Amino acid sequence: MSFEDLHLGSIVVSTVRNAPVLIFAAMAGLFAERSGVIDIGLEGKILASAFVSAAVAFTTQNPWYGILAGIAVSVAIALLQGCIAITQKGNQLVAGIAINITMSGLTFVVAQYFFQQGGRTPDLGEARLSEIVLPGSAAVADVPVIGWIWTQLLGGHTVLVYLAFALVPLVHWVLYHTRFGLRLRACGENPHAADAAGVSVERTRYAAMLIAGILCSFSGAYLAIVQSGFFLRDMSAGAGYLALTAMVFGNWRPFYTFLGCLMFGFFGAVQIQLEGVDLPVVGRIPGALIQMVPYVVTVIVLAGLMAKSVAPKAIGVPFVKSR
């Protein structure tokens, strides 16, 4: 395959399909961290929901049951994380890392116990979510540009893709134009002032963790039921950490965080397209180096923007009610 065979259209469509995993996780992290709870455990919740979604979808041959089961397990983990961070006032970083390590091993062991396929689930087959064909797709399919936009860029995706992109303005509206969003941000910036105003800081943070658990489950479900069609050990491949980086890139704001997710989705698409391609001057790049692209970009983004990003002032600080 030569450099000329690279198609910009394929990269753009792949970007759209790669981004939902990061968008769901990043929006989940936004709710948690805007309330003052560091959510390092995104990766673990993605893995747990991916495994449970795939296992239940295969067993029932119904992807919606798989998604519901993924929501249940992700919410349970998020509330456990909330109990440690909010009620017990434990170290939030350690709790998140513990969840990630535990889920990485536990999902593999349970998958191996039930399915005996080397720690993965069987292929879902018909239990995957179907793609949505927009009305009139057949009529415009052969029309240059318009046909591609209507049938591939806007159409041909599953419902979770549309949900991910619709989520961004919804999260913005909730955070900045609702009473709940105001209380949430107050708990992340100055919880004692929020408490003095009659806001229950613990209840608000638990609500944020509940929402984060629900949103994060969609990342896992998307990976297992839409992209792969099965569960594989550590299949999230650092998506939770990339989502955290997108939050830093976006300065904990929904729209800019969304742009960060698109950026990482784009480099993930480029990585896939570059495999086996003969580039001018340098020739064919080894696959291992190509796979490093998203993570090298992550390091560059963090190194360049970490000092400029302003996190919520009370993030990671357990709230102790004033007497």
pLDDT at 185: 95
Backbone φ and ψ of 91, nearest 5°: -70, 120
Q: Tell which residue, 290, 312, 237, has the closest CA to residue 29.
A: 312
**Does residue 233 carry a pLDDT above 60?**
yes
The answer to whether the beta carbons of residues 37 and 315 sit under 8 Å apart is: yes
pLDDT at 320: 84
With 0-12 / 13-18 / 19 or more C-beta atoms within 10 angstroms meaning exposed / middle / buried, residue 240 is: buried
pLDDT at 2: 40
Please give the share of the chain, as a percent, with pLDDT higher than 70: 91
Q: Tell which residue, 50, 2, 4, 61, has the closest CA to residue 24.
A: 50
pLDDT at 23: 96
Q: Which has the higher per-residue pLDDT, 310 or 175?
A: 175
Identity of the residue numbered 303: A
**Does residue 150 carry a pLDDT above 60?**
yes
pLDDT tens digits, 120-131: 899 998 889 888
Would you place residue 287 in the very low, low, confident or very high pLDDT band (cuts 50, 70, 90)? low
Distance CA 42, CA 100 (A): 8
**Does residue 228 carry a pLDDT above 80?**
yes
**Does residue 288 carry a pLDDT above 70?**
no
Q: Which CATH class is domain 8-122+153-305?
A: mainly alpha
Provide the terminal-to-terminal Cα distance of the chain, rounded to the nearest Å: 69
Identity of the residue numbered 178: T
H helices present in the chain, as ranges: 8-34, 42-60, 63-82, 92-115, 137-140, 146-148, 159-177, 179-189, 191-196, 201-221, 239-249, 254-274, 287-291, 293-305
Mean pLDDT across the stretch 15-21?
Answer: 92
pLDDT at 27: 96
**Does residue 306 carry a pLDDT above 70?**
no
Please give the share of the chain, as a percent, with pLDDT higher than 90: 59
DSSP letter for each residue of 135-185: TTHHHHTTSTTHHHIIIIISSSB-HHHHHHHHHHHHHHHHHHHSHHHHHHH
The answer to whether the beta carbons of residues 211 and 267 sit under 8 Å apart is: no
pLDDT at 35: 94
pLDDT at 238: 86
**Does residue 245 carry a pLDDT above 50?**
yes
pLDDT tens digits, 59-116: 999 999 999 999 999 999 999 999 999 999 999 999 999 999 999 999 999 999 999 8
Distance CA 14, CA 6 (A): 13
pLDDT tens digits, 189-213: 999 999 999 999 999 999 999 999 9
The answer to whether the beta carbons of residues 66 and 53 sit under 8 Å apart is: yes
pLDDT at 122: 92
DSSP-derived secondary structure letter, 2: B
Average pLDDT, the chain: 88
pLDDT at 283: 65
**Does residue 1 carry a pLDDT above 60?**
no
pTM: 0.91
Backbone φ and ψ of 73, nearest 5°: -75, -35
The answer to whether the beta carbons of residues 230 and 107 sit under 8 Å apart is: no
Mean pLDDT across the stretch 14-25?
Answer: 93
pLDDT at 297: 74
